[in-house]
């Protein structure tokens, strides 16, 4: 049997949101394999599928900037939320976002780019770490561009102009008037911020993730005891639902709960007298997928798992 440590139980709890005893059992059932344990929990209905991917577990800022037919989004991380309120840090994120807008989103290119101060982005980042006294990193960037139309930006709970914890870009290709595209783009961006799509279209979804969902659905369906042909239909029905719920164009618009996003875009184009195509989007949520150290329930984990965190001193006579 694998040696299940307190740290492993703690990590699985953070990833799954499941109870500690369930996490310990899952790890025992899967010989300590973290991914298999997460799937085991989900099969038993004990874990939230989106828990790990949607949580915000790092600090810093997401920056967005647009200029007509192009837009850029950048995420810069810090250790604490306090740094995100620092004027120096905010200026850095804003300048890096502008550079991404102008020069592209390759991280190596961004780090080597020259800032208004004359320093490279990497040098400025190093200086920030030294002067602010906290580790920081340029994590990711993405630029969108259309040949004709608009790229619209939106920041949820904006902390400062163009800066916040969730940044969205929506790329619309069309000959429609700019005010029409801006209004539609903002509505779509707000939907994206709230609905967290995984891809633009169903065929863009990660097939490895689809297969993982199929395996989980198959195991769940098998527990029903129904005939194989019924189980197969249940599984494929579940996968079809997964695809619709996670592809942007087939999601139901959050503002009315009944109209597909593809139909929202089609109607806007019809009303404007010019076809509008939703060609791409970006959704950056601060800390998405990053696990942050949390020690507030470490002792509880150790107590439940039976693994001591540290040897306590022997009482003296």
Cα–Cα distance measured from residue 103 to residue 64, given in angstroms and rounded to the nearest whole number: 14
* Structural contact between residues 57 and 81, judged by C-beta atoms closer than 8 angstroms: no
Element spanning 101, H or E: helix 87-103
**First and final C-alpha spacing in the chain:** 39
pLDDT tens, 262-314?
999 999 999 999 999 999 999 999 988 776 554 444 454 444 445 444 444 44
Give the three-state DSSP class for 287: coil
Q: Which residue has the higher pLDDT, 137 or 313?
A: 137
Query: Which pLDDT does position 296 carry in this prediction?
Result: 47
- Half-sphere CA count of 241, side-chain side, radius 13 A: 9
Domains of the chain from N-terminus onward: 1-55+292-309 (1.10.8.10), 59-193+274-285 (3.30.479.20)
In 3D space, the residue among 38, 17, 39, 37 whose CA is nearest the CA of residue 27 turns out to be 37
Q: State the virtual CA torsion across 48, 52, 56, 60 in degrees, nearest 10.
A: 180
Query: Which pLDDT does position 287 carry in this prediction?
Result: 87
Q: What is the mean pLDDT of the chain?
A: 86
pLDDT tens, 222-245?
888 888 888 888 888 888 899 999
User: Which residues share a beta bridge with 152?
Assistant: 170
pLDDT tens, 8-56?
888 888 777 777 788 888 999 999 999 888 888 878 766 654 443 343 3
The 10 Å CB-count burial string (b at 16+, else e) for 119-133 is eebeebbeebeeebe
Query: Which pLDDT does position 162 carry in this prediction?
Result: 96
* Structural contact between residues 76 and 310, judged by C-beta atoms closer than 8 angstroms: no
* Structural contact between residues 294 and 58, judged by C-beta atoms closer than 8 angstroms: no
Q: Which residue has the higher pLDDT, 220 or 313?
A: 220
Give the three-state DSSP class for 19: coil
Query: Which pLDDT does position 193 carry in this prediction?
Result: 96
């Amino acid at each position: 049997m694998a040696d299940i440590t307190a740290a492993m139980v703690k990590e699985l709890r953070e990833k799954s949101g499941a109870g500690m005893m369930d996490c310990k059992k899952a790890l025992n059932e899967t010989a300590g394999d973290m991914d298999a344990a997460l799937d085991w929990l989900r099969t038993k209905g004990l874990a939230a599928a989106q828990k790990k991917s949607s949580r915000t577990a790092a600090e810093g800022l997401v920056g967005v900037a647009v200029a007509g037919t192009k837009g850029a989004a950048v995420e810069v991380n810090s250790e604490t939320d306090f740094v995100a309120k620092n004027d120096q840090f905010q200026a850095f994120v804003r300048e890096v976002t502008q550079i991404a807008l102008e020069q592209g989103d390759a991280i190596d290119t961004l780090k080597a780019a020259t800032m208004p101060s004359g320093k490279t982005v990497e040098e400025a980042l190093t200086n920030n770490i030294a002067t602010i006294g906290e580790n920081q990193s340029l994590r990711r960037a993405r630029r969108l561009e259309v040949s004709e139309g608009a790229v619209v930006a939106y920041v949820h709970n904006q902390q400062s102009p163009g800066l916040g914890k969730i940044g969205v870009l929506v790329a619309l290709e069309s000959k429609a008037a700019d005010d029409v595209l801006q209004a539609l783009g903002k509505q779509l961006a707000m939907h994206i911020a709230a609905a967290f799509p995984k891809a633009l279209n169903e065929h863009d979804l990660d097939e490895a993730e689809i297969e993982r969902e199929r395996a989980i659905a198959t195991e769940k369906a098998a527990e029903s005891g129904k005939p194989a042909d019924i189980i197969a239909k249940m599984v494929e029905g579940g996968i079809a639902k997964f695809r619709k719920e996670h592809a942007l164009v087939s999601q139901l618009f959050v503002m009315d709960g009944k109209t597909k996003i593809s139909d929202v875009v089609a109607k806007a184009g019809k009303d404007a007298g010019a076809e509008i195509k939703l060609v791409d989007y970006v959704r950056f949520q601060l800390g998405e997928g990053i696990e942050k150290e949390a020690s507030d329930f470490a002792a509880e984990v150790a107590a439940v798992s039976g693994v001591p965190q540290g040897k306590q001193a022997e009482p003296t006579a």
